[in-house]
Amino acid sequence: MIAPAPLNLDRPALRRGVRLSTDPQTGDPVLLFPEGALLMNETAARIVAICDGTRTVTSIVNTLSGEYTSASADDIVELIDTLVGQYLMVRNA
């Protein structure tokens, strides 16, 4: 039996000045920030969109597990860690 993931009560959100948009050329999601842009796939964009500063990581994982995106809890936590490391997201809004 797999042990349940520990509760993660961080409430991540995009940092001020960072926003999700759409690439006018490809229609793909893109994260825009002061000095650049990060092209994203639909799954990453869905995760970013739900990180609104009110939901905990545990709640985000539970919400997304019921969706077609099929992002695992590890994928979600890893994406949040990456974006925090790139100063695009804060762990707690």
41 binds another protein (CB under 8 A): no
Residues 6+ apart with CB under 8 A from 35: none
- Among 5, 9, 23, 53, which residue interacts with another protein (rule: CB under 8 A)? 23
List 17, 42, 78, 82, residue binding another protein (CB under 8 A) = 17
3-state secondary structure (DSSP) of residue 13? strand
- Specify the stretch interacting with another protein by CB under 8 A; choose among 4-12, 35-43, 49-57, 65-73: 35-43
For 54-71, letters b (16+ CB in 10 Å) and e give: ebebbebbeebeeeebeb
From 21, 41, 54, 63, residue interacting with another protein (rule: CB under 8 A)? 21
